[in-house]
Amino acid sequence: MTRELFWLTATVILTGLLWIPYVLNRCQVRGLSGAMANPSRNDKPHAEWATRLMFAHDNAVENLVIFAPLVLILAQIDYSTKWTALACAVYFWSRVAHLIVYTLGLPVFRTLAFTVGFLAQAVLALAIFQIL
């Protein structure tokens, strides 16, 4: 497994687990049957942190759709450098930072973490065309 695929795997696992804390909050707020029921406008709202975590999860999924193909294309063309591996690690940790600062409600830091992740994706895209 390349370093890039390692970081992709870690990112997929992270993204796949993000629903657990906010669903636990939903169970706490609405009860187990309420959490398993169909959504309704009359539902008790999540805690604010849980709502922000849901948005962070949505954002992680939306960006995984960009990150994963970039890494898989690099694997397919058998292109791996210290920069592509570093970009993948930076992307993973920027997603962790994004998750934390979004959940805590720190908007400026959320945007910075997102931007770092975007730049890491840009490095991967440039590497595909061997510009980097």
pLDDT in tens, 55-83: 999 999 999 999 999 999 999 999 999 99
How far apart are alpha carbons 93 and 7 in whole angstroms?
10
- Domain contains 96: yes
pLDDT in tens, 28-44: 999 999 889 998 888 88
pLDDT at 85: 98
In this prediction, residues 96-108 reach a mean pLDDT of 97
Sign (positive or negative) of CA dihedral 38, 56, 111, 88: negative
pLDDT at 70: 98
pLDDT > 80? residue 132: no
Q: Which range of residues forms the domain containing residue 94?
A: 3-18+48-128
- Domain contains 43: no
- Domain contains 122: yes
Intra-chain end-to-end CA distance of the chain, in Å: 22
pLDDT at 104: 97
- Residue 106 belongs to a domain with what CATH number? 1.20.120.550
Q: How many domains does the chain have?
A: 1
Q: What rounded mean pLDDT belongs to the chain?
A: 95
